[in-house]
Amino acid sequence: MNNMSENSADYAIRKMGACRIPSPMPDLQFTEDHERVLLHSDPKDVNRFFREGNQPPAFEIAGPRSMIFFDPADLRCGIVTCGGICPGVNDVIRAIVLSLYHHYGIDKVFGFRFGYAGLSARPPHPPVELTPKRVDGIHLNGGTILGTSRGPQDIGEMVDTLQRMRIGILFAIGGDGTLRGLHAIADEIARRGLKISVIGVPKTIDNDIAYIEQSFGFETAVTASRTAIYSANIEATGAINGMGLVKLMGRHSGFIAAYATLANSDVNYCLIPEVRFSRDAFLSSLKERLLNKHHAVIVVAEGAGQELMEETGRRDASGNIRMGDIGVYLKTQIRQYFQETGMDFTLKYIDPGYTIRSMPANPHDSVFCLLLGHNAVHAGMAGRTDMVVGYWKNHFTHVPISLAASERKRIDPESRIWKNVLASTGQPAKML
């Protein structure tokens, strides 16, 4: 995270207008608008700004305000979930519905079906009403009760839908592409001069959104990867020169693979997008390991080693480049290589992606999603827009979409966490 924006102005949140309505929440400790949490935690970094007469960069702290922008009496809200499923989406939906209802007395909440497609002129299914009764217990299951889809929709059409349905706040739960779309929606709303707030809840099982320390579902994913790694190890140690290969999530950032490696000491190789490796160096290290230890467990993030494969050139419906399948590539290369050596060997390939993505949130993520949903509602009610709810140094924060989307959080190969992965696996620091 080297290119962190150090410009304090980048942290300013767009607002719909002045907050003139007293909050109906009676007994909550309200957050003041001026409360901030510092980007930096090193005293020298902070002092540098003060010395130069500047404000150090800091996030607005999320939470309920004593004065709000929207009148609860006639506010109508919408929720949409986009992109791949991830543990905790239903928790967030439920938290938003319950907070709107119990904190602000709002009972007109609509769920758009199947992602942005549900906001288009011809939605696949009409929106559904979301009541406390409807969301009762939904967080005990994975997936999303609203359904999801990938890909953009016409921005004008979507704003038309919001206007037609008289939606005051739209909550969008989604990743990169979803947030870029939401930013465009906010711009179109501003162009039309509408009083519609859009609040993003960042969803990335990969935990790769900048300026946000933790994203929901990540902990559950690391926990759930234990089963696959266990299996890979059992298969590897039970065969002559047995190898277990596990593909985990991580398109651009290897956080799941790295933490799963630290959490499961059986892993012997951890391959992530941030650290290049060559086919030959990896395979010859692997061969050496088999000669010495007779088995190996390999964890590979889905975005690792893309440069080894021919570019597919294709993109998925969300506009993401369709990656080569590094799991299948490695499976094929390892097979071919060891068949040529004439060694006895066994290779078992495990791809637990869908199983992990469809898990319900674990208790850690459940609590996190609950508070995330609450804070999304508080932000919307206080007239914030074009922002996402973030998390920084134990505070929920308001982060402009443009800042959150400006770069991606990745593992620094010089960082201590990566050094610990190397120490834990014993793999060579360089395989080039």
Using CB under 8 A, which residues numbered 65 to 104 contact a copy of itself? 85, 102-103
Q: How far is the CB of 225 from a copy of itself (least distance, A)?
A: 8
Closest Cα to residue 386, out of 99, 192, 190, 214? 190
At residue 59, φ and ψ (nearest 5 deg) are: -90, 145
Tokens of 234: 């059992």
Asked if 228 interacts with a copy of itself (CB under 8 A), we say yes
| Cβ(411)–Cβ(254) below 8 Å | yes
Tell me which of 215, 253, 362, 425 binds a copy of itself, using CB under 8 A. Answer: 362
Asked if 142 interacts with a copy of itself (CB under 8 A), we say yes
Binding mask 265-304 for a copy of itself (x = CB under 8 A): x---------------------------------------
Does the annotation mark 206 as catalytic? yes
Cross-strand bridge partners of residue 243: 296, 347
Asked if 21 interacts with a copy of itself (CB under 8 A), we say no
Tell me which of 5, 66, 237, 333 binds a copy of itself, using CB under 8 A. Answer: 237
Tokens of 425: 């696996």
Asked if 395 interacts with a copy of itself (CB under 8 A), we say yes
Environment class of 270 (CB within 10 Å of its CB; exposed 0-12, middle 13-18, buried 19+): buried
DSSP H or E stretch at residue 419: helix 416-425
Tell me which of 106, 205, 212, 222 binds a copy of itself, using CB under 8 A. Answer: 222
Task: Give the separation between CA 33 and CA 35, rounded to whole angstroms.
Answer: 6
| Cβ(294)–Cβ(241) below 8 Å | yes
For 167, which DSSP code? -
Tell me which of 2, 3, 29, 292 binds a copy of itself, using CB under 8 A. Answer: 29
Segment contacting a copy of itself (CB under 8 A): 50-58, 168-176, 281-289, 297-305?
A: 50-58
Asked if 374 interacts with a copy of itself (CB under 8 A), we say yes
Task: Give the separation between CA 140 and CA 99, rounded to whole angstroms.
Answer: 18
Tell me which of 13, 58, 100, 283 binds a copy of itself, using CB under 8 A. Answer: 58
Residue where the block lists tokens 């009972």:
107
Segment contacting a copy of itself (CB under 8 A): 28-36, 166-174, 308-316, 402-410?
A: 28-36
Secondary structure class of 127 (helix, strand, coil)? coil
Q: How far is CA 324 from the centre of its chain?
A: 21
- 157 or 213: whose CB is closer to a copy of itself? 213
Asked if 260 interacts with a copy of itself (CB under 8 A), we say yes
Tell me which of 216, 255, 259, 277 binds a copy of itself, using CB under 8 A. Answer: 259
Tokens of 188: 């179109």
CA atoms 157, 163, 165, 167: torsion sign = positive
| Total site size for a copy of itself, rule CB under 8 A | 88
Tell me which of 10, 371, 402, 407 binds a copy of itself, using CB under 8 A. Answer: 371
Task: Give the separation between CA 390 and CA 375, rounded to whole angstroms.
Answer: 9
Binders in 166-205 for a copy of itself, by CB under 8 A: none
- 103 or 251: whose CB is closer to a copy of itself? 103
Tokens of 392: 């920084």
Asked if 32 interacts with a copy of itself (CB under 8 A), we say no
Environment class of 45 (CB within 10 Å of its CB; exposed 0-12, middle 13-18, buried 19+): middle
Find the catalytic residue in 176, 206, 208, 386: 206
Tell me which of 19, 283, 286, 350 binds a copy of itself, using CB under 8 A. Answer: 350
Residue where the block lists tokens 């080693």:
305
Segment contacting a copy of itself (CB under 8 A): 67-75, 196-204, 302-310, 419-427?
A: 419-427
Q: Within a 10 A sphere around the Cβ of 231, how many other Cβ atoms? A: 16
- 227 or 402: whose CB is closer to a copy of itself? 227
Asked if 50 interacts with a copy of itself (CB under 8 A), we say yes
Tell me which of 370, 387, 403, 411 binds a copy of itself, using CB under 8 A. Answer: 370
Q: How far is the CB of 36 from a copy of itself (least distance, A)?
A: 5
Asked if 55 interacts with a copy of itself (CB under 8 A), we say yes
Tell me which of 15, 76, 348, 408 binds a copy of itself, using CB under 8 A. Answer: 348
CB proximity list for 4: less than 8 A, separation 6 or greater: 39, 57, 210, 211
Closest Cα to residue 359, out of 112, 150, 91? 91
Which positions are catalytic? 206
